[in-house]
Amino acid sequence: MKLLNWNVNGLRACLTKGLLDFIAREDPDIIAFEETKMQPEQLTVRFDGYHMYMNSAERKGYSGTMVLTKKEPLSYEFDIEGEDHPKEGRVITLEYPEYYFVCAYVPNSKDGLLRLPYRVRWEEDLRKHLSRLDQKKPVIYTGDLNVAHNEIDLKNPDTNHFNAGFSDEERSEFTKLLSLGFTDTFRALYPDTVKYSWWSYRARAREKGVGWRIDYFVVSDRLMEKVSDSLILDDVYGSDHCPVGLIIDL
């Protein structure tokens, strides 16, 4: 199976930059998106051959997730349980006979880490959600997780320790998730490889190779033996993120 994930930073904009051609070329079994920034009624194209699940934010033009899947799931669920979670369209969970597929757009902690307290509470509830699922069947978790876990995962770690995406608190939250029985597939397969999945639009960062790896495929530990590759498709344009992928035998 080929699974893909892409923060498209505006689905309608990405559709004008070759998204349909990309899907046709890659032919994924499942593809998930973050930052769709739209409501279902605004979608004017068809994704032939796929079942579509869209979780949109109440706030127009903000956040949002979507999953296209060739195989109809047994069930689907939007969002996660917990208090004080605004309707921002951040999580989609699909259940299949052998596994759960979870797509998430993790909240950004914002400049000055102004939203960090909420981010930590959200991460706690997300871990509870993934752990509950994992007790029933293994989990494939993907998305823009808005954290570069280790120094190898961004170009300039020394100057970013107090910035959103590389704070000690955010990195610790990701470590806690992995300690519950989950694996960062790319880093497990490629422990010393430097690749990025997001680049600022400012100062020609992508052209200069100044990026961050903040988009992931994470799986239950017991699925790793079925993973044959974890991909970062950094030659694909259309967003400030590039797609990431997972090749897995399920």
**Could you list the active site residues?**
105, 144
In this structure, is the dihedral angle defined by the CA atoms of residues 12, 126, 188 and 176, taken in order, positive or negative?
A: positive
Distance of alpha carbon 229 from alpha carbon 193, whole angstroms? 13
Distance of alpha carbon 102 from alpha carbon 155, whole angstroms? 28
DSSP 16-55: TTTHHHHHHHH--SEEEEE---S-GGG-----TT-EEEEE
Closest CA to 181 of 106, 127, 226, 229: 127
Distance of alpha carbon 103 from alpha carbon 111, whole angstroms? 25
**DSSP code at position 206:** H
